[in-house]
């Protein structure tokens, strides 16, 4: 569905005044409409934005699949559950295909360690990287995961830590397992971004592209559906690449993991140019978002790991 022609926006600026915006017959009219929040009131900033001639309607989907009294089965959590189950089954498939003997019970315990590390790392990473001052003053809030706020980069560190702990306890080759799991990670990432889209969170910057959308909570202006960009790149494209090269690099321990780290970093940096920066941080030094900074470090680490893996030619 497309919105075309004229439109009308009414937005309360503060408790005492209201402004009405009507571009008339053309949505391509230049409007001075940038919004920012100050003390629970909305204010204008002097910035010109070209509104699109046509834009997609945001499909308002309930954030939950169904609910029974106070209990809700939410799409976001369901997406990650499907991602974890899919990853587990694909790793099991790779083991069977490569004739690697691995107890089903051990694989289940491995995922228990990985998921636990991921959740703890994602939450602590958000507190450290994205809102350190707040959580320093309110340390107990760091454990309130139901309040939202998760960091992929922190989750990655946590998941790797959980995997290392498990493999050392069981005396299992960590890099071999890490490579097989890395191939499947984009499945969960892509589904997670769909969950972000359904929740109308982590939306993009204001734009005039024809596929722009007005997101609930994102002000009256159309924005990039950056969650769908991330779904496409970090999910579909990254999974296709990893699945295609998995057999070609399987003899080099750590190579697949390194490729995943590099490609994720590249895709994340790219999408961040279209995604709205975190309001509490904005642009670091006016140049990069926190996501781009952390992803740049990922690319460097991944490149170093890939070089060592390929030059060392360590066979599984």
Q: Where are the domains of the chain?
A: 2-51, 64-312
128/203 Cα distance (integer angstroms) = 22
* DSSP code for 236: I
Q: At what angle do helices 75-97 and 104-129 cross, to 10 degrees?
A: 130
11/269 Cα distance (integer angstroms) = 33
Read off the pLDDT of each residue in 219-242 and give the average, rounded to a whole number: 96
pLDDT confidence tier of residue 29, bands split at 50, 70 and 90:
very low
232/84 Cα distance (integer angstroms) = 19
144/134 Cα distance (integer angstroms) = 13
User: What is the pLDDT at residue 13?
Assistant: 38
Give the gyration radius of the chain's Cα atoms: 22
Contact 222, 51 (CB under 8 A): yes
- Best CA proximity match to 199, nearest among 64, 57, 41, 27: 64
**What confidence tens digit (pLDDT) does each residue in 89-144 have?**
999 999 999 999 899 999 999 999 999 999 999 999 999 999 999 999 988 888 88
Mean pLDDT over all residues of the chain?
A: 84
| Unique residue bearing structure tokens 């699109």 | 52
- Best CA proximity match to 8, nearest among 24, 29, 22: 22
- pTM over cut 0.85: no
102/171 Cα distance (integer angstroms) = 12
**What confidence tens digit (pLDDT) does each residue in 259-282 have?**
999 999 999 999 999 999 998 888
C-alpha separations of 307 from 156, 238, 256, 313, 316 in Å = 21, 20, 12, 10, 17
């Amino acid at each position: 569905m497309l919105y075309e022609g004229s439109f009308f926006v009414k937005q309360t600026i503060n408790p005492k005044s209201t402004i009405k915006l009507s571009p008339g017959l053309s949505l391509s009219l230049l409007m001075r409409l940038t919004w920012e929040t100050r003390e629970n009131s909305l204010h204008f900033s002097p910035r010109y934005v070209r509104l699109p001639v046509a834009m997609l309607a945001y499909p308002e989907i309930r954030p939950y699949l169904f609910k029974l009294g106070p209990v809700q089965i939410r799409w976001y959590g369901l997406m990650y559950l499907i991602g974890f189950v899919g990853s587990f089954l694909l790793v099991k498939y790779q083991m069977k295909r490569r004739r690697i003997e691995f107890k089903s019970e051990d694989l289940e315990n491995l995922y228990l360690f990985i998921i636990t590390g991921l959740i703890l790392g994602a939450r602590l990473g958000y507190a450290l990287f994205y809102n350190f001052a707040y959580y320093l003053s309110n340390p107990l809030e760091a454990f309130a995961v139901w309040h939202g706020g998760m960091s992929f980069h922190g989750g990655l560190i946590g998941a790797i830590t959980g995997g290392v702990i498990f493999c050392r306890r069981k005396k299992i080759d960590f890099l071999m397992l890490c490579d097989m799991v890395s191939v499947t990670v984009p499945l969960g990432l892509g589904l997670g971004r769909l969950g972000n889209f359904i929740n109308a969170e982590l939306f993009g910057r204001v734009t005039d592209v024809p596929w722009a959308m007005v997101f609930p909570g994102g002000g009256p202006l159309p924005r990039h559906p950056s969650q769908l960009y991330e779904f496409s790149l970090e999910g579909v494209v990254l999974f296709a690449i990893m699945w295609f090269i998995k057999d070609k690099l399987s003899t080099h321990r750590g190579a697949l993991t390194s490729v995943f780290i590099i490609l994720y970093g590249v895709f994340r940096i790219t999408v961040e140019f279209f995604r709205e920066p975190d309001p509490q941080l904005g642009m670091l030094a006016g140049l990069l978002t926190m996501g781009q900074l952390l992803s740049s470090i990922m690319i460097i680490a991944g490149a170093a790991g890939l070089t060592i893996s390929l030059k060392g030619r360590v066979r599984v």
